[in-house]
Amino acid sequence: MSLIVVGSMAFDSIETPFGKSDRIVGGAATYIAWSASNFVKPVKQISVVGGDFPDSELQLLADRGVELEGVQIKKDQKSFFWAGRYDMDMNSRETLETQFNVLGDFQPVVPESYAGSEFLMLGNLAPGVQHSVIKQLKKRPKLIVMDTMNFWMEIAMPELEEVLKDVDVLLVNDSEARQLSAQYSLVKAARKIMEMGPKYLVIKKGEHGALLFHGDQVFYAPALPLEDVFDPTGAGDTFAGGFIGHIARTRDISFENMKTAIIVGSAMASFCVEKFGTTRLREISKEEIEGRIRQFVELVNFDIELV
Ligand code: AMP
């Protein structure tokens, strides 16, 4: 079992109705690694950081079983920086600032030691960069999962369309699915997106759960009703880490197993939002994760007799 994770490693500045963070460590690949490493080791990370990125953060990831040979450190440059603000409903957020810094001219290099990996998770990054990683792999992974965001649909649609042809599973939220397909109905949007390449599509709906589409089949998983949501940043990436982590651990890429992977992803995301940044992900134990997955099973389990 081997998993490559690609994506941003960053500093984030976050405002929610409950508080404001200073520059804290974030980035799509950071969240994915913290989440996926609960299920699969090593996680083979590909990213880029500046000289300002703390060594201690890299060490913590390494201690967890995240291989960092594919993480470039540009000593004289600054790490990617993103600032965002959430409304009271926490489902909509506004990007206040994006400083690409090291990500601006990032050219990922897949280390020799990552060759032959069975699973590839393309976290949020420029689609051209995501595609370059696929092209560098001599053997196609068993499953390629990709995340993206509205930002790339606005500035890099042709590149996004190209990489979509080469991936198996796409993860997007509902508004991104609508934007990508130009369809309001999520069923029509899913059909259109699956014609663009991915055979599987996961549409995340924040506190309203997630949908999995494949051909004419649909599966729905709720989100756990939580008393407190402090910071939704990284929830999508943490979901992705749980999803691919479960699949890489079980090495089963069937639709049935993807249903379980959605539950695992949702459980992981429910931890992420409980504290700012990656704080909660650093604390959770195997027992807590299992307990939460059990809560999901309880949430949707009922008996019905059809007459
Ligand atoms: P999520 O809340 O799961 O959608 O992801 C939030 C993370 O995405 C933050 O930690 C940001 O650092 C990162 N991020 C935001 N915008 C971009 C971008 N354009 N490219 C790569 N990563 C980004």
pLDDT tens digits for range 215-245:
999 999 999 888 888 889 999 999 999 999 9
Angular region, 228: left φ>0, alpha ψ -120 to 50, beta rest: beta
CA 303 / ligand 1 centre spacing (Å):
40
| Atom number in ligand 1 closest to CA 10 | 12
Q: How far away, in angstroms, is 7 Cα from ligand 1 center?
A: 9
Say what the pLDDT of residue 307 is. Answer: 76
Residue nearest to atom 13 of ligand 1 (CA): 27
Residue 303 is predicted with a pLDDT of 87
Q: What is the pLDDT of residue 155?
A: 95
Ligand 1 midpoint to CA 28 (Å): 5
Residue nearest (by alpha carbon) to ligand 1 atom 21: 125
Q: Give the position, in ligand 1's atom list, of the atom nearest the Cα of 30.
A: 10
269 Cα–ligand 1 center, Å: 15
Q: Name all residues whose Cβ lies below 6 A of ligand 1.
A: 8, 10, 12, 26-28, 82, 98, 124-125, 151, 233-237
**Atom 1 (ligand 1): residue with closest C-alpha?**
234
Residue 18: its pLDDT value, please?
85
Sequential pLDDT tens for the chain (307 residues) = 699 999 999 999 999 988 899 899 999 999 999 999 999 999 999 999 999 999 999 999 999 999 999 999 999 999 999 999 998 877 778 999 999 999 999 999 999 999 999 999 999 999 999 999 999 999 999 999 999 999 999 999 999 999 999 999 999 999 999 999 999 999 999 999 999 999 999 999 988 999 999 999 999 999 988 888 888 999 999 999 999 999 999 999 999 999 999 999 999 999 999 999 999 999 999 999 999 999 999 998 888 888 7
The whole-number pLDDT of residue 1 equals 63
For the domain 3-300, what is the CATH superfamily, name and number? Ribokinase (3.40.1190.20)
| Closest atom, ligand 1, to C-alpha of 81 | 12
The protein residue with its alpha carbon nearest to ligand 1, atom 15, reads: 82
4-35 pLDDT per residue, tens: 999 999 999 999 988 899 899 999 999 999 99
